[in-house]
Amino acid sequence: MSKSIIELVDELSTDSLTVKILNALDFVIPGEWENLVGFNHTIRKLTGEEDYEVITKIRDRALAIYEDPNEGYQKAVGIYQKFDRTDKAIAAAAIADKVGDTFRWIPFLEKLTPKADKLQGVDLGLKLVGELLAHSKIHKVGLNPFEFASSIRENYDQAALMRMVALVCIDGVIPLGADFVSKVRNTLEEGDQSSFSNNDEFEAIRDSIPDGDKQGFITQTFDAVGGWMDNLV
């Protein structure tokens, strides 16, 4: 059985590598990040409410909305959790490639370890699609990459904006350089189907991507957000 939103927030880390990275990135968008842990504490910080009975009512209402199958919050969290589980495999494969660079004289190793840059490019494209999927679930809107990009520019702030900034920095700038947008675009446009069919992240969200040209949809989503990412860099 999946955990409730209350359990998930209560169990957030107070001091992990992720928390340290987000605190460090706060200089990019000052004042946007605060590590809130504990559901009741989060309610107090976001609403300014101190009355225990009122906090309890807000807590109960939030839980009911989260568990309502007609709402998209639980499904959105599920999408983020899928990426959280598969991201470790992506990192391991990228490391394997760097090791492989040292031992290219082993013929079969090159075939087993896809190039890290290519892997990172596909990974970033898929994570943007994951963000689009979660956005559509929460806001009950269609899967339109251009409307999604417009929402990022106009509506994303605080935790949502920090999430996107972290994605750009950690999955774009750090592994691929400041010109990562053009590199990823080339990777997505030139990549064959095997780049996605052997990817755990793609398999995790395959059924949620519209039928038809799924690879094209991933590329279109990246292109739609590419301008915003370039401006951020």
Residue 156's SS3 state is coil
105: confidence class by pLDDT, cuts 50, 70, 90: very low
Q: What is the pLDDT of residues 212-228, one digit of tens each?
A: 899 999 999 999 999 99
Q: What is the pLDDT of residues 128-146, one digit of tens each?
A: 999 999 999 999 999 999 9
User: Is residue 90 scored above 80 in pLDDT?
Assistant: no
Q: Distance from CA of residue 76 to its chain's centroid? A: 11
Instruction: Compute the distance between CA of residue 177 and CA of residue 233 in angstroms, rounded to an integer.
Output: 10
Q: What is the pLDDT of residues 138-169, one digit of tens each?
A: 999 999 999 999 999 999 988 889 889 989 98
The pLDDT, as a whole number, for residue 223 is 96
Instruction: Compute the distance between CA of residue 183 and CA of residue 189 in angstroms, rounded to an integer.
Output: 10
What tokens were used for 203?
């398999």
What tokens were used for 202?
């793609």
Question: Do residues 141 and 147 make contact, with C-beta atoms less than 8 angstroms apart?
Answer: yes
Q: Closest Cα partner for 221 from 159, 136, 131? A: 131
Please report how many Cα atoms fall inside a 13 Å half-sphere around the Cα of residue 75, on the Cβ side: 16
Residue 4's SS3 state is coil
What tokens were used for 69?
């199958």
